[in-house]
Amino acid sequence: MVRQPKRIDTQDIVPPADVALLRQACPDLDEWPQRWQCDAADLAPGAAIVATFTPFLLDLLRGALAKRTFNRHRDNLWLVGGEMIRRRYDDPALKRLPAEQLVRRLIDADGGPLISSQISEAEQNAVDATCRKLHQFLTQSNAVERLKATHKFR
């Protein structure tokens, strides 16, 4: 029996006004975990990775990016998510990490994980550019959250 992946409830992580925008730009976003999976146990981590990527995708959509540029970043994130699921099999320590920590472990200021040998050096450079942008977004978002948590605004 093939288990259907749980549909990502974007209402939990995306304001209702942005749901249509996200669905239009990423119509297959809910299918990413199923496409990445090696077995059924990969669906939940895959969905959590998508949930980690979603605020960044929305930030890109709100920016003044050309559609082609946005699509390139979206497609690169799809590659990175699949690589993260694959890496969980190679490194048992990664398998135990929550999705947000996995993303932060594999993506840094220098780029992202080396995607399997199926892509060219130019394509890997594009993936790294997306990962640097994601890292910057996560770092800034984390700083804002820490600021909100430590300062009471009147």
DSSP class of residue 119?
A: S
65 φψ region: left (φ > 0), alpha (ψ -120 to 50), beta (else)? beta
Q: Write out the E strands in 45-109.
A: none
Which of 87, 55, 81, 75 lies closest to 126, judged by CA?
75
Q: Check residue 143 and give its pLDDT.
A: 60
User: Is it the case that residue 7 has pLDDT exceeding 80?
Assistant: no
pLDDT score recorded for residue 114: 93
Q: Stretch 122-132: mean pLDDT, rounded?
A: 97
The pair of structure tokens assigned to 51 is 């949930």
pLDDT at 147 over 50: no
Q: The pTM is what?
A: 0.83
Please list, residue by residue across 102-111, b when 16 or more beta carbons sit within 10 angstroms of its beta carbon and e when fewer do.
Answer: bbbebbeeeb
pLDDT at 122 > cutoff 70: yes
pLDDT of residue 13: 56
* Closest by CA position to 13, among listed 112, 136, 73, 99: 99
Q: What tokens appear for 120 in the block?
A: 């060219």
The string of pLDDT tens digits covering residues 88-119 is 999 999 999 999 999 999 999 999 999 977 89
